[in-house]
Amino acid sequence: MLNLTFLDFDFALNKDEPPALIAESTPAQHLLFEKWKRCNRMSLMLMKNSISMPIRGSILDSGNAKTYLASVEEQFKGTSKAHTSTLILKLVTTKYDGSSGIRGHIMMINDMAHKLKGLDMKINDGFLVHFIMTSYLAAYEAFKINYNT
């Protein structure tokens, strides 16, 4: 959506397809139709080329960008549950390994929590801080005690 908006191709997603042109169509109607048609074509090309071939094959094809985007969303509704489960499992099993930086570890867990929030799994910031603290190795016990004090 960001790319389509920057390129001003989101017009076809925000507006319904204009009526087909007829002999009595005004120049303004011709311009509107041509703009929508171009934006629709470019949007479809960008969306389809942004999706890997195996996934693209499972999406119902359409000549309308708005309909195609709805098909993409529908295709991934079911997989969002699986993705949520995977993220939760990864979040609760992630422990700081001591080899990477603490900041990177915190950012990784925060990213997982942010993704879960996007999937309607609200995670309280206070809980997240305590969760991160419990993910540290025993060697960081003094740090945890200092933080809790």
pLDDT at 48 over 80: yes
Residue whose tokens read 């048609």: 37
pLDDT value, residue 79:
64
Helix 125-134, helix 141-148: angle, nearest 10 = 150
CA 148/CA 116 separation, integer angstroms: 26
- Confirm if 135 and 94 have CB atoms less than 8 A apart: yes
Q: What is the pTM of this model?
A: 0.52
Q: Where are the domains of the chain?
A: 1-77, 94-149
Q: Which stretch of DSSP H or E encloses residue 66?
A: helix 65-93
Model confidence at 78, pLDDT cuts 50, 70, 90, reads: low
pLDDT at 141 over 90: no
98-130 pLDDT, tens digit each:
777 888 888 989 999 988 888 888 888 888 888
